[in-house]
Amino acid sequence: MTKFVYLFEEGNQSMRALLGGKGANLAEMTNLDLPVPPGFTITTEACNAYYEMGEQISDEISDEIRHSLKALQDHTGKALGNPEKPLVVSVRSGARASMPGMMDTVLNLGFNDRVVEGMAKLTHNRRFAFDAYRRFIMMFADVVMEIDKNEFESIMDQVKKARGVTKDTELNAKDLEEVTHKSLARYAEIKGEPFPQDPTNQLMAAIEAVFKSWNNPRAQYYRRMNNIPQSWGTAVNVQEMVYGNMGEKSASGVAFSRNPAVGDNHIYGEYLPNAQGEDVVAGVRTPVALDEMKQWLPEVYDQFCDMAKRLEQHYGDMQDLEFTIEEGQLFLLQTRNGKRTAQAAIKVAVDMVEEGLVTKDRALMQINPASLDTLLHPRFNREELAKAEPICKGLPASPGAASGQIVFSAKDASRQVLNGKKVILVRKETSPEDIEGMHIAEGILTARGGMTSHAAVVARGMGKCCITGCSDLLIDEKAKTMTVKGVVYKEGDVLSLDSSTGLVYDREIHTVPAEIAGDFETVMNWAKETSKMNVRANADNPADVQKALDLGAGGVGLTRTEHMFFEKDRIFQFRRMILAKTKEERLEALDKIRPIQQGDFEGIFRALKGLPATIRLLDPPLHEFLPKKDQEITDLAGSMGLDTEEVKKVIESLQESNPMLGMRGCRLAVVFPEIAEMQTAAIIRAAINVKKEGIDVYPEIMVPLICTVKELSFLRKVISNVADKLIEESGIDMHYNVGTMIEIPRAALTADEIAPVADFFSYGTNDLTQMGFGLSRDDAGPVLDTYYQRGIFENDPTAILDQKGIGRLVKISSKEAREVKPEIHLGICGEHGGEPSSVKFLHGLNFDYVSCSPFRVPIAILSAAQAQIENPRDYLSSDLEHFFGREK
């Protein structure tokens, strides 16, 4: 029989999949004899069973919950609903992967009209008892019954107004009793039935609400963004409440064993005296720095620091802790590996290796490859920054540099971004509803909240520039203005945020590229030494190539020759070539184009200094290069001495019903071999010239979009006829490769026929995904929206490689290609080449390299290293052997 509920003492940290992260760590801490309030965890499997039964908790699971509740009551000597010995619990979600703030929580569960009186007597604190009860009513109504929180918050506001006070803390016991009674009445009025008094019913309803919250839209969105499978489900933790709001010697707080923003090895945290934990996270009041506890409660402080270090050593990673001090007594409510900025992750990893706490492999595994992205974002130009005058200062919650126009809501953010604007989201404090707006904003600025507020945690998770707790900021959301020291800023005004310092500027400041140095460089060197796969970059010009090499690329995996033609002075010849009516005219235009391409290639080869460059022959449909508007067409016709109507006819004749499935890729070269001949000549002449300068060159000519080996055989002959002749004439000893993209399903399915004719395969997983799913990226929008909603797709397969379907094509074809040609070189140049899970998948298939955009190169390098650590392979990329002299 499956066990669906575990007491904390029955679990441990290895049971993360079953108990969720929070549950497994509460169990682990319990067994380490740390001060954890007792409780139990309902498993993720129970959540899945709930959905499988059509959103119902089975009798079997209900029975187990009651059984564990009894054990908890026996353990504490308290009982739910017993006014003499009242048990009060929290009910919290906890998935395998941390999803902060995405799901629901109910606190103070167990209160009812009788318990509140008992609690008042027991604690000699009537104010506390009614505060807890009225909080519970509001939370239960909101989370379980889906009643708008404002219904109850307005009662608080009325009472405060009546008393002439502004802060919650200024209300006394009697006031809160009044709030409680009014809340109960309001509840009954809305629901048509009284507030539930049976604590067991309260509990079951709260558990179900947490299960349900697994599928709320923001949880779905978060999962999609973080590639968390829906099938994981969430666990539910039921735990005895402890109270940080019990009085003067009480507090609630959160802390990191090291600084999560920059990585310093110094315990770092915040607490709110006399408050519940939710108040800290919500950012309603700005909390006190943990260091101040040294003066306030020195023993508790020392005890906490000891525990934090002990846990850090135990887990071998930086910890993120939640704690409560109830009347001077310390309780730990949560520990987990702390989320951190990429900057912090790198520093922590290097420090921990130096401290001898973890191995290099372990340290590399601690860094989230995707987060490195943020380190590669540009920083402000130092000179401009020096000249600028900050208008105010907040907390450096998540580092970065961002300029943009002010917006005051997530909705406005969406609207402006759709209009092509860059925005800074300015909020009093953020809430889970803001998550999409935060995602699309350049940066986030809040007036309230600390380093661990919602805004800070979420922004760090996204690697987004964020400044919190900027108390000089007065925001009027309705009027869409913010006032700083008397100056009013309105929507659309420009702000710049330097979140490494927390300074805010009211002008645009330009940025400069990031560089890899210091600890970052150390980590990237470890990763390169560990990885068995090369990482190349997609780069179309010498500047991009240089950027890619600076970021650690080991060559170029894709140069798109067509991008070279969109520049204004070049497109004219290209259009002449397209509009040519005879082969002679076309050859004449191509003759003009060739030297331009050759110049580009020379620059690329020079920058590469002997590293390989894979250059793709012309790929997109020709009509993409032609003007669309009447005036442009007339101008073009005029400048070419052609008739406008004639040009229009050519443009029309190039229109296709499904251009994605039409005349493009190698089909262009098969129809007009002279284009491939020109491009080959440009590549080979460039290579010869650069080689003559004493620089090694390694050109690879790539044929796109083949569906049958015969296309490649035909074009390989076209290419080698030109190339061999030029090389022979030059008298230079030079090698070049000819290979193909595998981006059409049929090509993948006939790899055994194609491999003998190809020196290399480069997988174009963008097209392979579009054709394999029968879904064009340009048209997928409306489909994806519904598919996410209905749980049919969990993420966008064009962003994360679908390993089951498209990955199978990659697997079949790479295996069969290697069978007939063991030395064939395998790589990928689709956008999946810089996505960590896809990189790991391709590592497993013994790929030689992945190629991605320059800014994703460090991500791919770290992913490849992690893949080797998780799943070691023997096969060493021949790139690494050949170009970097690594030995097998």
Binding site for a copy of itself (CB under 8 A): 656-663, 667, 670-671, 705, 707-708, 710-711, 714, 743-746, 749-750, 753, 767, 770-776, 778-780, 782-783, 786-787, 790-793, 802, 804-806, 808-809
State how far the Cα of 854 lies from the Cα of 119, in Å rounded to an integer: 62
Cβ proximity to a copy of itself, 81 vs 620, nearer residue: 620
Of the candidates 633, 662, 638, 668, which has an alpha carbon nearest to the alpha carbon of residue 650? Answer: 633
Is 454 a residue of the active site? yes
Closer of 266 and 746 to a copy of itself (Cβ): 746
In the complex, least distance from residue 861 CB atom to a copy of itself, rounded to whole angstroms: 30
State which residue, 159 or 749, has the beta carbon closest to a copy of itself: 749
CB of 833 to a copy of itself, least distance (A): 20
Q: Does residue 465 have an active-site annotation? A: no
Q: Strand runs (DSSP E) across 78-214, as ranges? A: 89-95, 105-109
Residue whose C-alpha is closest to residue 387's, from 505, 485, 493: 505
Nearest-approach distance from CB 770 to a copy of itself, in angstroms: 6
Between CA 126 and CA 136, with CA 130 as vertex, the angle to 5 degrees is 150
> From CA 429, how far away is CA 466, in angstroms rounded?
12
Sheet holding 5-7, edge to edge: 5-7, 39-42, 234-240, 89-95, 105-109
Q: How far is the CB of 619 from a copy of itself (least distance, A)?
A: 12
Q: How far is the CB of 754 from a copy of itself (least distance, A)?
A: 11
Rounded to whole angstroms, how far apart are CA atoms 4 and 18?
9
Give 115-146 as a DSSP string: HHHHHHHHHT-HHHHHHHHHHHHHHHHHHTT-
- Please, what is the minimum distance in Å from the beta carbon of residue 781 to a copy of itself? 9
Q: Work out how close the CB of 660 gets to a copy of itself at its nearest, in angstroms, rounded to a whole number.
A: 4
Which one, 161 or 717, has the nearer CB to a copy of itself?
717
Report the length, in residues, of the chain. 888
**CA 226, CA 219: separation in Å to the nearest integer?**
10
**Tokens representing 750?**
């006939």
Measured distance CA(774)–CA(337) in Å, rounded: 40
> CB of residue 18 vs a copy of itself: minimum separation in angstroms?
24
How far apart are CB 802 and a copy of itself at their closest, in Å?
A: 7
Nearer to a copy of itself, 50 or 672 (CB): 672
Within 8 A by CB and 6+ apart from 144, the residues are 106, 205, 206, 208, 209
Enumerate residues 6+ apart whose C-beta is below 8 A from 64. Answer: 3, 4, 5, 42
Enumerate residues 6+ apart whose C-beta is below 8 A from 74: none
Can you tell me the distance from the alpha carbon of 441 to that of 422, in angstroms, rounded to the nearest whole number?
7
Tokens 């210091």 belong to 518
Token pair 């126009």 is found at: 405
Q: Which of 454, 623, 825, 832 is catalytic?
A: 454
The minimum distance between CB 823 and a copy of itself, in angstroms, equals 24
Q: Of 87 and 784, which CB lies nearer to a copy of itself in the complex structure?
A: 784
State in angstroms the smallest separation of the CB of 808 from a copy of itself: 5
Nearest to a copy of itself of 545, 707 (CB atom): 707
The two structure tokens encoding residue 172: 């006394």
Measured from the CB atom, the residue of 592 and 811 that comes closer to a copy of itself is 811
Place of tokens 């299960």: 211
CB of 655 to a copy of itself, least distance (A): 9
CA atoms of 790 and 651, how far apart (whole Å): 41
556 to 67, 611, 762, 789: CA distances (angstroms): 62, 8, 12, 39
Which of 47, 392, 707, 829 is the catalytic position? Answer: 829
CA within 13 Å, CB half, 177: 10
Closer CB to a copy of itself, 682 or 845, in the complex: 845
Q: Which residue, 774 or 885, has its beta carbon nearer to a copy of itself?
A: 774
Q: Pairing state of beta strands 503-505 and 494-498?
A: antiparallel
- Which residue matches tokens 């408050």? 275
> Is 680 or 877 the residue whose CB approaches a copy of itself more closely?
680
User: Token pair for residue 745?
Assistant: 């399903």
**Contact by Cβ (8 Å): 238, 69:** yes
Q: How many CB atoms lie within 10 A of CB 728?
A: 9
Nearer to a copy of itself, 612 or 673 (CB): 673
Distance CA 47, CA 199 (A): 21
Name which of 857, 830, 823 is nearest 770 in CA terms: 830
- Joined together, the tokens standing for residue 201 give 């019913």
C-beta of residue 607 within 8 angstroms of C-beta of residue 639: no
**Around Cβ 810, how many Cβ atoms within 10 Å?**
27
Burial zone of 875 (CB within 10 Å; 0-12 exposed, 13-18 middle, 19+ buried):
middle
Contacts 24+ apart (CB under 8 A), 25-32: 25/334, 25/335, 25/336, 26/237, 26/239, 26/334, 28/314, 29/311, 29/332, 29/335, 32/310, 32/311, 32/314
Q: How far is the CB of 713 from a copy of itself (least distance, A)?
A: 9
Nearer to a copy of itself, 282 or 749 (CB): 749
- Report how far residue 444's alpha carbon sits from residue 253's, in angstroms, rounded to the nearest whole number: 23
Numbers of helices and strands, H then E, in the chain: 35, 31
Which residues have a catalytic role annotated?
454, 829
